[in-house]
Structure 1
């Protein structure tokens, strides 16, 4: 691509997004890293229809402030080691800086939807602190035990524990699906920004269904872990660790997003106008 102001700005946006995701990858769990990728991808989708006519014309002071903000974000990212709440605010700050490098402050409204997508990262961190841990953990254990009993297994649910004759699991805070529920809620916001649904009843339904899908998919994972532990594949074995805290746990995140996407598309299709009737095929003269 020729080094035009537009192409250089787009290249800078890509570099900032990659750097931010890389910081998540090096300091956070795989679930949170995947969520960061989803958020940046949602921002790109919301911005896609503006790429063709985008011509960066920043104000002189906006150019200075935007540059300083990006330098600060880069410097602050370099000192993040593990759980640092400010990490989740760096994406919207970087997004604001990129906006100042492209438009005058009066025109920043064109970046509203991408900025709302980036605000989902601090929103995710806030949800993880607000949503109650204990009731969700107890509910997760009960529903996981229900799936196992439906399969005909001899399961006992004792508070947080899901027990089979050969072993079992205990549902603690990091395993209760809070992160998955928050992720699907944030995915719902991204979908509504990128592919709007006008009906308020459908929107409310989506925000009720989203955490429920996340909860159910996580109970499937807990049930699977209980089965593995009951057959001697407890913590430390490859299969258990794969579905507990490795790449295998992302399978259930993918299933949750797919299930939510199917519900969303069904509600979106209800608002689309009916296809025009096809004219009857004429017979011969």
Structure 2
């Protein structure tokens, strides 16, 4: 009789967990669908980025689904539902760029509280870090940091090194035949934050061992983005001096600007891949094994 009661309790517990998982899946799917719907109406690049981040976040949660502790207190659940309710109500109005950037982290936090409570938030640290870097650094740092002067100086140095008679005056890169103004949107800070975001995705998806390597990756992403944009500004200064307005517009606001973003992304991707190869090679040297798994 006692054994039968134990089995019944186990079945009830399993059914409860199963029901909770279905509810959580429904909540998560709805939040993701709402955010994708909102971003699709605003910006194609933001929509594509949203898909990438939600896929990565969902992948991490799915990987650990069997080890997650899905027990939340009443107060944690209420607080989580309040957070989600605020997000949903705000979604009814015309969403701003900042709101769309905050949406993933705030909704992810609310979902985590509903699923596992305050004590269980640590289980979702990777996912919450990922959602934080979706757009929040851009929202917080872009209005207060301007690297226009630094970018203008670096672009001038590139031109000088290539043999041009270039000088810098404030935010202007000056050549004898003309000058180009480096203002905040063209200074490359957004590109730096974009590559930092990509580095965080790589570090979570394909982790490297040691804090020094991770810091090195983050710093390298900033340098790659800054240097690449410096060459772009230098090119635009040359085109301005040549009075080639059509080519200038192409590299300034046209597809040319995207080409430099692709170049910096490709360089960083190759750089990170080499780091992974180096780490794998080091691991094999420290732990040599034959193909059948036996030590040599």
TM-score interval w.r.t. the shorter chain? Answer: 0.7 to 0.9
Which of 74, 99, 103 pairs up with 2:88?
74
- Structure possessing the higher relative contact order (Cα contacts under 8 Å, 6 or more residues apart): 1
Decide which moves more: 262-271 or 211-220: 262-271
Query: Superposed, which structure 2 residues align to 1:175-254 within 5 Å?
Result: 175-234=186-245, 237=246, 239-254=247-262
Q: In structure 2, how many angstroms separate the alpha carbons of the residues matched to 1:61 and 1:69?
A: 12
Shift of 1:73: 0.9
Match of 1:107 in 2: 120
Which of 6, 13, 27 pairs up with 2:28?
13
Give deviations 1:121-153, integer Å, cap 9, x for gaps: 32332232453x2xx322212322333445555
Decide which moves more: 203-212 or 109-118: 203-212
Query: Superposed, which structure 2 residues align to 1:1-285 within 5 Å?
Result: 6=21, 9-10=24-25, 12-21=27-36, 23-24=38-39, 30=45, 39-51=53-65, 62-80=76-94, 82=96, 84=98, 86-120=99-133, 121-131=135-145, 133=146, 136-153=147-164, 155-164=166-175, 166-234=177-245, 237=246, 239-272=247-280, 273-274=283-284, 276=288
Distance change >3 Å, CA 91–CA 274, structure 1 → 2:
same
Q: In structure 2, how many angstroms separate the alpha carbons of the residues matched to 1:29 and 1:168?
A: 32
Q: In structure 1, how many angstroms separate the alpha carbons of the residues matched to 2:251 and 2:276?
A: 33
Q: In structure 1, how many angstroms separate the alpha carbons of the residues matched to 2:151 and 2:85?
A: 43
Distance change >3 Å, CA 217–CA 15, structure 1 → 2:
farther
Shift of 1:112: 1.4
- Give 3-state SS (helix, strand or coil) of 2:137's partner: helix
Q: Do 1:27 and 1:80's aligned partners in 2 also have CA atoms closer than 8 Å? A: no
Shift of 1:5: 6.4
Structure 1: gaps (5+ residues): 280-285
Q: In structure 1, how many angstroms separate the alpha carbons of the residues matched to 2:62 and 2:269?
A: 20
Structure 2: gaps (5+ residues): 1-18, 292-296
Q: In structure 2, how many angstroms separate the alpha carbons of the residues matched to 1:87 and 1:15?
A: 15
Match of 2:14 in 1: none
Give deviations 1:94-142, integer Å, cap 9, x for gaps: 00122234334433332111011112232332232453x2xx3222123
Distance change >3 Å, CA 184–CA 90, structure 1 → 2:
same
Q: In structure 2, how many angstroms separate the alpha carbons of the residues matched to 1:13 and 1:146?
A: 50
Q: In structure 2, how many angstroms separate the alpha carbons of the residues matched to 1:127 and 1:262?
A: 27
Shift of 1:38: 5.2
Q: In structure 2, how many angstroms separate the alpha carbons of the residues matched to 1:150 and 1:263?
A: 25
Q: In structure 1, how many angstroms separate the alpha carbons of the residues matched to 2:253 and 2:171?
A: 18
- Give 3-state SS (helix, strand or coil) of 2:115's partner: coil
Q: Do 1:28 and 1:83's aligned partners in 2 also have CA atoms closer than 8 Å? A: no
Q: In structure 2, how many angstroms separate the alpha carbons of the residues matched to 1:139 and 1:218?
A: 11
Using the size of structure 1 for normalisation, the TM-score is: 0.74
Task: Kindly indicate which of the two structures has a greater share of residues assigned to helix.
Answer: 2
RMSD: 3.7
